[in-house]
């Protein structure tokens, strides 16, 4: 009887294993290692711009922003990607450097992880210089700075890392993704694959390459202590048919793109840009 019971348990385990192999392809993959830090509430946000070139609906998420304080006694500011002020985020035109104060009427933000359903109004973005080659420099840096104004106490600024990134380092992007990971997961691990010390550009590969990152532009990149080492700008995806051509049948079955690489900007370049903006105000 014990022998038969043992056989039944083994067969039951095999049946469960079969069922797992046939699980729906959209099952959320787990990361190999847990995030070694907690992302605080009210540190990562969803920005919405209301402009003369169109408005972002608060019901449609277009990007990510995060609170940061560069000077110990300074007021926190929000950083996000400059290209959110253009057609990539649904506006009718790109708002050019030198016209932000004129074109941006209002900015509101909501917590990225749904801690609160309310929105917070913040100040207008700090104007970007438009003389000479400065405009191209700002477009290349792809950063916009938004003072939080009277709402400063509602924001939890992230700490800034004082350590230089190296190829092979692990970093974590903090954003609410649309798929490929549990909704409760606040940080997603990646490995740095390339660093351009002159431009500040960094490239990295996510441990989970099936993340849906369509509203992650502007998200903070964090080190193992939860300190900001950069900002995520965009990702290059491999389309479904290309994945199938390369033998990635699982990706083709899922129908989602595979992230080939992601691109961001280092904290050093962000620090330089913020310092320049604040000094010129």
Give 135-178 pLDDT, tens digit per residue: 777 788 899 999 998 888 899 999 999 999 999 999 999 999 88
Alpha-carbon separation of residue 175 from 53, 202, 222, 245 (angstroms):
26, 18, 11, 31
Cα dihedral angle (143, 149, 154, 158), rounded to 10 degrees?
Answer: 30
CATH architecture group of domain 170-267: Beta Barrel (2.40)
**What does the radius of gyration of the chain's CA atoms come to, in whole angstroms?**
21
Phi, psi torsion values for 152, nearest 5 degrees: -55, -40
**What CA–CA distance (Å, rounded) separates 281 from 268?**
20
Do 44-157+270-280 and 170-267 have matching folds?
yes
pLDDT of residue 280: 63
Would the pTM count as exceeding 0.85? Answer: no
The string of pLDDT tens digits covering residues 262-277 is: 999 999 999 988 887 8
Domains of the chain: which residue ranges? 44-157+270-280, 170-267
State the pLDDT at residue 227: 97
Q: Which of 281, 269, 273, 274 is nearest to 101 (CA)?
A: 281
Task: Please state which CATH number belongs to domain 44-157+270-280.
Answer: 2.40.10
Taking 70 as the pLDDT cut, the residues of the chain under it are 1-33, 72-73, 132-134, 238-257, 279-281
Residues 6+ apart with CB under 8 A from 91: 49, 51, 53, 54, 56, 85
User: What are residue 160's DSSP bridge partners?
Assistant: 228
């Amino acid at each position: 009887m014990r022998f038969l019971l043992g056989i039944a348990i083994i067969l039951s385990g095999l049946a469960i294993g079969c069922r797992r192999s046939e699980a729906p392809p959209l099952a959320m993959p787990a990361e190999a290692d847990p995030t070694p830090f907690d992302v605080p509430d009210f540190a990562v946000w969803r920005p919405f711009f209301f402009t003369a070139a169109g408005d972002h609906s608060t019901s449609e998420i277009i990007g990510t922003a995060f609170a940061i304080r560069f000077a110990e006694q300074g007021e926190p500011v929000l950083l996000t990607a400059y290209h959110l002020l253009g057609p990539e985020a649904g506006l009718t035109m790109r708002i050019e450097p030198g016209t932000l104060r004129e074109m941006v009427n209002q900015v509101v933000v909501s917590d990225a992880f749904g801690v609160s359903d309310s929105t917070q109004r913040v100040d207008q973005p700090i104007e970007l210089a438009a003389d000479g080659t400065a405009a191209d420099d700002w477009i290349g840096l792809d950063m916009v700075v938004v003072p939080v104004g009277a709402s400063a106490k509602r924001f939890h600024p992230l700490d800034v890392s004082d350590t230089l990134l190296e190829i092979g380092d692990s970093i974590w992007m903090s954003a609410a993704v649309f798929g490929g990971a549990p909704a409760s997961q606040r940080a997603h691990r990646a490995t740095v694959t390339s660093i351009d010390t002159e431009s500040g550009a960094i490239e990295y590969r996510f441990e989970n390459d099936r993340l849906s990152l369509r509203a992650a532009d502007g998200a903070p990149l964090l080190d193992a202590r939860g300190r900001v080492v950069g900002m995520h700008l965009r990702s290059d995806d491999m389309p479904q048919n290309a994945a199938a051509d390369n033998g990635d049948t699982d990706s083709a079955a899922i129908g989602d793109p595979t992230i080939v690489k992601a691109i961001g900007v280092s904290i050093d370049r962000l620090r330089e840009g913020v310092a320049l903006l604040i000094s010129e105000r």
